[in-house]
Structures are given as structure tokens and as C-alpha cells.
Amino acid sequence: MSDDIVTHSDKNYKLRMFLFRWGVSLPGLVAQVVFGWLPLIIGILVSFQEFHMEKSQWNGLDNYKAVLSDPNSAPFSIKMAKSFYSGEVKNYQEENGVAPSPPVKIIYGIESIYNGMGVIWRNTLFYVFLSLGLTFLVPVIVSILLTEMSPGLIRIMMILWFIPVSGMSSLIILKYFYNVDYGLLNGIIAQVYDLLGRPEAERIYPRWLNSPNLVMFCLVLPGLVMFSPGLIYITALQGIPQDLYDAAEIDGCGFVQKIWHITLPRLRPIIVTMFMLAVLHSFQVMNEVLIMTQGGPGDRTLVVGYYIYKMTFDYLEIGKGNALAVIYFCFLMFLTILQRVYIKEDKDKGEDKKTLKLIKEGN
């Protein structure tokens, strides 16, 4: 009798747990399907169509062929690369009277690979390198320096990082900072000229967003202000035991040695993770270009994300825009897989070959 009651109660418990788990998970699962996977599936289907709101027709791979033959959107063109390489070699021969040496040819070959890419891919790649080079390491360095300061200052900085800042409104304000005629930056430069007594005719002001050479830097620099992961680094640094630093000081380690041997090894998993996220985020740049430059001047800031937007909503080439989006999605997935395979978050688990060899020798 008692065994039947226990069995009955166990079945009810398992059923309740099953319903509870699915009840908790189902809203998130539905949201992921509706707002995540469903738009992806629709986008893939639209990429094979000549899409119109009233009636669409299947056109096979025509959209993909059009995208891959477009000089702007083609990921890479061997014809463009060869044309650039032959042009550079010809110019060198005309200027110097001799054929370029092998090292010069190697340089031209690297440049031809870069120039063989479509315009939007070159611009996106350039933005990614600038963004990672100028904005990724700075928060790490600032966070490490802040931990050496008083606890009160650390709390103030964490509060400032916690303040919700709208990215869109910040970009709009920064756009007016860059304005050539009445922007804050040129206003400050004008004040410096006034202090120096420089005449108006001799004053030179940067063109900022209107300058082909400065515009990409102008898009990247706001990331120094709005790079929120600095808070994550500070939180991770506060989790490092103080005993490790005290023991290092007793052993005679200086500030740099403590950072190199204690701080950075324990920050490495977080830095690697944030690096992977920063790479993917940089490749998906869109808002900065849409608000500040609209792809200009010329096509210097015409990146992949903004070109997909223009092709879809400005040119109404919805099928081609989705085809380019699918190609870009595949590229980002491939990049993510490479990062997960070749960039390990943490190798200090005794699983690498050197550690296993030391363990075997010790045994």
C-alpha cells in the first residue's frame, strides 16, 4: 500500500517538474524562435526571390550572382587584385626604370589582396582593425590602473559605468561635436588659435567627418567613451585575492611584475571572451555610419551593415539585400567558429601538452 503511494507521488513530482521546466523555458524559447530564428529563415528564403510586397518570384541564385559581381559587395575579386598588382608594378617600372625587387613585389601582392576585396568589405575590415587597436586595450589598462587607487575612486568609476547612456543620443551629440562650422572640437581649436594670436587666414581646421583620411577615426573614437566592458574588468580584478599581491611584494616584485604574473593571467579568460565579442560587434557596425556619415564622404565609410540597409530600404533591392545579409551571416559564423577553435578562453586547466608532460614526469 505504501509503495503504491510513493510511486504515485513520484510520478506526480516528475510531471510537476516537467511542466515547471517547460513553463519557465517556453517563453524564452518562443521569443528566440520568433525574433531570432524565424527572421533568419525568412531572410534566407527571400534571398532566393525577386521580392515584391504584392507578388514575389523565385529567381534561384540570381541575387547571389548579382551581389558577388558587384564591385562594392563582392568579398573578393581576382580580376581586381590582378589589375591592381599589374598597375602598381607598371608604375614602379615607369618611375624607376627597373622591375621591382622581390620584397617590393610581396608588398604589392599584400596590397592587391586588400584592394581585391569589395569596397564595403575593405571599409569594414579597416574599421575593425581601428576599433580593436584604439578602443579594446584602453579599458583593460584603465581598469588595472584604477584598482591601484583608493576604494572610493573605484566606486565612483563603477557608478559612472553603471549610468545608462543611450548610444543613439550620444552619437547624435558627437556628430555635432565634429561639425566643421559650429562643432565643439573646432571651437576648442579656435580658442587655442586665439590664445596664440594666429590670424584667421593662417588657421587650419580639421574637416572631421568630411575628411576621407579622418572620418574612420571619428567613427571609432566614440568607442573609447561608450565601451562599457570596463566595468566587467574592474569586477574581475576585485575577485583576485589580495594575498597574491602581498606575497609578490614580499618576494620583491614591482608594479609591472605583479600585473604581468598575477593580474593578466587571471584576466585572460575574460579578455579573450570580450575580444571575441568585440570582433563580432565591430564587424556589425551600423549605427555610427547611419547617424554620422551615411557612408560618406564618397564611399569611405560604406560598410557591409549599412550597405545591406541601403540596398534593402533605399534601393528596394530586397532580395539582393537579403542575399548579402546571408553571405555576411555565413562569414560571421565562420569567424565565430575559428575563434572558438583557435582562441581558448582558459588554458590553465592542466589539459595542455606541457602540463600533462610535467605531471607524468612528476609521477
Asked if residue 45 has pLDDT above 90, the reply is yes
Interatomic CA distance for residues 73 and 67, integer angstroms: 6
Q: Taking all residues of the chain, what is their mean pLDDT, rounded to a whole number?
A: 84
- Say what the pLDDT of residue 350 is: 42
CB 45 within 8 A of CB 51: no
Asked if residue 146 has pLDDT above 70, the reply is yes
CB 36 within 8 A of CB 42: no
- C-alpha 298: how far from its chain's center? 23
Percent of the chain predicted with pLDDT > 90 = 38
If DSSP codes are grouped into helix, strand and coil, which group holds residue 102?
helix
- Say what the pLDDT of residue 328 is: 94
Task: Return all residues near 317 (Cβ < 8 A) that are at least 6 apart.
Answer: 311
Asked if residue 158 has pLDDT above 50, the reply is yes
Asked if residue 353 has pLDDT above 70, the reply is no
85-118 pLDDT per residue, tens: 999 999 999 888 888 898 888 999 999 998 899 9
- Say what the pLDDT of residue 118 is: 92
- Say what the pLDDT of residue 164 is: 60
Task: Return all residues near 226 (Cβ < 8 A) that are at least 6 apart.
Answer: 165, 167, 170
Backbone angles phi and psi of 282, in degrees to 5: -65, -40
CB 281 within 8 A of CB 127: no
Mean pLDDT for the stretch of residues 249-259: 84
- Say what the pLDDT of residue 227 is: 59
Asked if residue 269 has pLDDT above 90, the reply is no
Q: Which of 156, 143, 352 is nearest to 263 (CA)?
A: 143
More confident residue, 8 or 138: 138
Mean pLDDT for the stretch of residues 355-360: 44
More confident residue, 163 or 217: 217
Query: For residue 228, what pLDDT band results from cuts at 50, 70 and 90?
Result: low
Least confident of 102-111, 159-168, 175-184: 159-168
294-312 pLDDT per residue, tens: 998 989 999 999 999 999 9
Interatomic CA distance for residues 177 and 160, integer angstroms: 22
Where does residue 268 rank: exposed (0-12), middle (13-18), buried (19+ CB within 10 A)? middle
Asked if residue 255 has pLDDT above 70, the reply is yes
Asked if residue 3 has pLDDT above 80, the reply is no
Q: What is the pTM of this model?
A: 0.83
Element (H, E) at 192: helix 184-196
| 337-339-262 Cα angle (round to 5) | 150
Distances (CA, A) of 253 to 19, 249, 265: 57, 5, 16
Please state, as a whole number, how many other Cβ atoms lie within 10 Å of the Cβ of residue 200.
7
- Say what the pLDDT of residue 42 is: 92
The count of C-alpha atoms lying within 13 angstroms of the C-alpha of 324, restricted to the half-sphere facing its C-beta, is 27
